[in-house]
């Protein structure tokens, strides 16, 4: 199985305002190796608390990181070619 780690970044300026946005992906053999990769990055500090809804795909987990010297990042690990699920009105994310 091939997994993709999707990273959405927000670069913060000296005044704390967003100055740039970006997206990047990394490829992995398993979901576990995907999450371990991001946990092991020395510049990524995990700030995730509670559960977060991924509005692009409501069944995917999302973790929130502070990236030293850059800004913030939201990471989701997804199985390649899996279908996405968008919440419908009144539907619970869990």
Q: What is the pLDDT along the chain (94 residues), one digit of tens a residue?
A: 699 898 999 988 888 787 888 999 999 999 999 999 999 999 999 998 766 665 665 567 888 999 998 889 999 888 887 765 555 666 665 5
Beta strand 3-12 with 18-28 is: antiparallel
Q: Is the sign of the CA dihedral 14, 20, 26, 30 positive or negative?
A: positive
DSSP 8-state class, residue 29 = S
Distance, in Å, from the CA atom of 76 to the CA atom of 27, rounded to the nearest integer, reads 12
What per-residue confidence (pLDDT) applies to 79? 84
Provide the CATH topology of domain 3-79: Chitinase A; domain 3 (3.10.50)
Distance, in Å, from the CA atom of 38 to the CA atom of 85, rounded to the nearest integer, reads 24
Model pTM score = 0.74
Write down the domain spans for the chain: 3-79
What per-residue confidence (pLDDT) applies to 32? 94
Instruction: For residue 35, report the phi and psi dihedrals to the nearest 5 degrees.
Output: -65, -40
């Amino acid at each position: 199985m091939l997994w993709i780690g999707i990273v959405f970044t927000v670069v913060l300026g000296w005044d704390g305002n967003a100055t740039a946005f970006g997206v990047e992906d990394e490829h992995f053999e398993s979901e576990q190796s995907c999450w371990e990769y991001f946990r092991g990055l020395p510049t990524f500090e995990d700030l995730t608390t509670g559960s977060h809804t991924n509005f692009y795909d409501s069944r995917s987990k999302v973790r929130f990181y502070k990236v030293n010297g850059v800004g913030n990042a939201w990471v989701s690990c997804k199985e390649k070619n899996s279908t996405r699920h968008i919440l419908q009105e009144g539907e619970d994310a869990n």
